[in-house]
Amino acid sequence: MNTSHHYSRRRFLVLTALAGAVAAGMDALRAVAAFAADAAGWPADAFKQKSEADAAKTLYGKTFEPSDKVKLDAPEIAENGAVVPISVSSTLPNVTSISIMVKENPYVLAASYKIPEGTNAAVSNRLKMAKTSQVVAVVESGGKLYSASKEVKVTVGGCGG
Amino acid sequence: MRNKIIAALLLAALPVGAALAQSPQDQFKAAYEKAEATNKKAGELRNQWTVTANALKAAKAAADAGDFDKALKLAEQAEALAKASIVQTEREKTAWKDAVIR
Amino acid sequence: MFRKILISVACCAIFANGALAAETINPEQDFKEFRQFFQSKFPQVKLEDFVNGPYSVDEGLRKQWIEKEEFPPYDFALEKGKELMAKPFANGKTIADCFPNKGIGIRQDYPYFDAKEGQVITLELAVNRCLEQNGEKPFSYTGDDMASVTAYMAFTSRGKPFDIKIPNDPRALAAYEHGKQYFYQRRGQLNFSCASCHVQSPGELIRSERLAPALGILNAMPIYRSEWGGMGTISRRFTSCNSQVRGVPLKPQDAEYRDVEYYLSYMANGLPIVGPGSRP
Amino acid sequence: MASSIRVRATASGETTEVQALIQHPMDSGFVKNSKGELIPPHHIETVQFETGGKVVFTALWGPAVSKDPYVKFSFKGGKKGDDLKISWVDNKGASDSMTAKIQ
DSSP A49: -
C59 and C136 housed in the same domain: no
D12: Cα separation from own chain's centroid = 22
What is the enclosing helix (H) or strand (E) of D9?
A: strand D5-12
Residue after which a domain boundary falls, among C131, C155, C179: C155
Q: How much is the pLDDT for C226?
A: 87
Residue B48 has a pLDDT of 96
Give the residue from C103, C130, C155 where a domain finishes.
C155
Instruction: Check whether residue C114 and residue C213 sit in a common domain.
Output: no
Same-domain check for residues C183 and C269: yes
Rounded average pLDDT over A51-75: 96
CA dihedral C93, C95, C100, C104 (to 10 degrees): -130
**Same domain assignment for residues C171 and C61:** yes
Q: Which chains touch C (3 or more CB pairs under 8 A)?
A: A, B, D
C203-243 pLDDT, tens digit per residue, is: 776 656 678 899 999 999 999 998 888 999 999 999 999 99
Rounded CA-CA distance C271/C265 in Å is 9
- Do C261 and C144 reside in the same domain of the chain? no
In a domain, C5, yes or no: no
pLDDT at residue C208 in the model: 60
Single residue among C155, C185, C204 that ends a domain in this structure: C155
CATH number, position C87 = 1.10.760.10
For residue range B43-56, what is the model confidence (pLDDT) as tens digits? 999 999 999 999 99
Q: What would the mean pLDDT of C93-101 be, rounded to a whole number?
A: 98
Nearest-CA distance from B17 to chain C in Å? 36
pTM exceeding the 0.95 threshold for the entire prediction: no
Write out chain C residues lying below 8 Å of A82, CB-based: 226-227, 229
Per-residue confidence (pLDDT) for residue C15, from 0 to 100: 38
- Do residue C64 and residue A79 have CB atoms under 8 angstroms apart? yes
Q: What is the CA radius of gyration of chain A?
A: 18
Question: pLDDT at position C238, please?
Answer: 95
A125 forms bridges with which residues in the sheet? A86, D71
Residue in chain C lying closest to B43 (CA): C248
| Inter-chain CB proximity D2 and C71 less than 8 Å | no
Q: What is the DSSP letter of C53?
A: G
Residue of C224, C212, C191 lying closest to C264 (CA atoms): C212
Residues C33 and C172 grouped into a single domain: yes
Show me where the domains of chain D are located.
5-101
Same-domain pairing of C128 and C234: no
Between CA C235 and CA C214 the distance in angstroms is 16
Is residue C135 located within the same domain as residue C267?
Answer: no
* Confidence band of A25 (pLDDT split at 50, 70, 90): very low
> For residue range C114-158, what is the model confidence (pLDDT) as tens digits?
999 999 999 999 999 999 999 999 999 999 999 999 999 999 999
Q: How confident is the model at residue C260 (pLDDT cuts 50, 70, 90)?
A: very high
The residue among C202 and C55 whose pLDDT is bigger is C55
Angle at the Cα of C79 from the Cα atoms of D33 and A74, rounded to 5 degrees: 60
Taking the domain D5-101, which CATH number applies?
2.60.40.10
In a domain, C161, yes or no: no
- To which H or E segment does residue C75 belong? helix C75-86
For residue D67, list chain A residues with Cβ-Cβ distance below 8 A: 82-83
Nearest CB partner across the interface for C243, out of B50, B85, B88 = B50
Cα–Cα distance between C207 and C188 in angstroms, integer? 16
Q: How many CB pairs under 8 A join B and C?
A: 57
How close is the nearest chain D Cα to the Cα of C73, in Å?
Answer: 7
Residue C12 falls within a domain, yes or no? no
Structure confidence at residue A40 as a pLDDT band (50, 70, 90): low
Chains B and C touch (3+ CB pairs under 8 A): yes
* CA–CA separation, C198 and C180 (whole Å): 13
Indicate whether C61 belongs to any domain: yes
Distance (Å) of CA D63 to CA A100, A102, C77, D44, D83: 13, 12, 23, 8, 29
pLDDT at C211: 82
Catalytic residue at C11?
A: no
By residue range, what is the domain housing residue C216? 28-72+166-273
Nearest to C103 by CA among C163, C150, C161, C158: C150
What average pLDDT does this structure show over C48-57?
A: 91
How far apart, in Å, are the Cα atoms of C168 and each of B25, C27, C28, C256?
A: 59, 11, 12, 20
- Tell whether C202 and C123 lie within a shared domain: no
ipTM score of complex? 0.78
Q: What pLDDT, on the 0 to 100 scale, is given for residue C17?
A: 42
Cα A9 to Cα A15, A31, D61: the distances in Å are 10, 20, 18
* Spatial separation of the C-alpha atoms in residues C22 and C245, rounded to whole Å: 31
Whether residue C126 lies inside any domain: the answer is: yes
Q: Are residues C140 and C246 in the same domain?
A: no
Q: Mean of the per-residue pLDDT values for chain C? A: 90
CA separation for the pair C56, B96 (Å, rounded):
27
Give the C-alpha separation, C21 to C15, whole Å.
11
**Pick from D9, D7, D11: which is nearest to D21 by CA?**
D7
> If phi over 0 gives left and psi between -120 and 50 gives alpha, with beta otherwise, what is residue C169?
beta
**% residues pLDDT > 90 (chain C):** 77
Q: Does the beta carbon of A77 lie under 8 angstroms from any beta carbon of chain C? A: yes
D25 min Cα distance to partner chain A (Å): 12
Q: Indicate if the pLDDT at residue A36 is higher than 70.
A: no
Tally of structural domains, chain C: 2
Contact A90, A121 (CB under 8 A): yes
Residue C23 identity: E
Of the partner residues C60, C67, C280, the one whose CB lies closest to the CB of residue A80: C280
Which of C98, C130, C194, C241 is catalytic? The answer is C241
Q: Are residues C176 and C57 in the same domain?
A: yes
Judge if C108 and C183 occupy the same domain.
no
In a domain, C20, yes or no: no
Tell whether the torsion through CA atoms of A147, A151, A156 and A160 is positive or negative. positive
Give residue D59's pLDDT band: very low, low, confident or very high (50, 70, 90): very high
HSE (CB half, 13 Å, CA atoms) of C240? 13
Q: Are β-strands D5-12 and C277-279 bridged in parallel, bridged antiparallel, or unpaired?
A: unpaired
Average pLDDT, chain A: 80
- Residue C209: per-residue pLDDT: 66
Lowest mean pLDDT among A103-112, A119-128, C55-64: C55-64
Those residues whose C-beta lies under 8 Å from the C-beta of residue B12, and which sit 6 or more positions away, are none
Rounded-to-integer distance, Cα D47 and Cα D6, Å: 13
User: Does residue C14 lie in a domain region?
Assistant: no
How high is the pLDDT of residue A29? Answer: 37
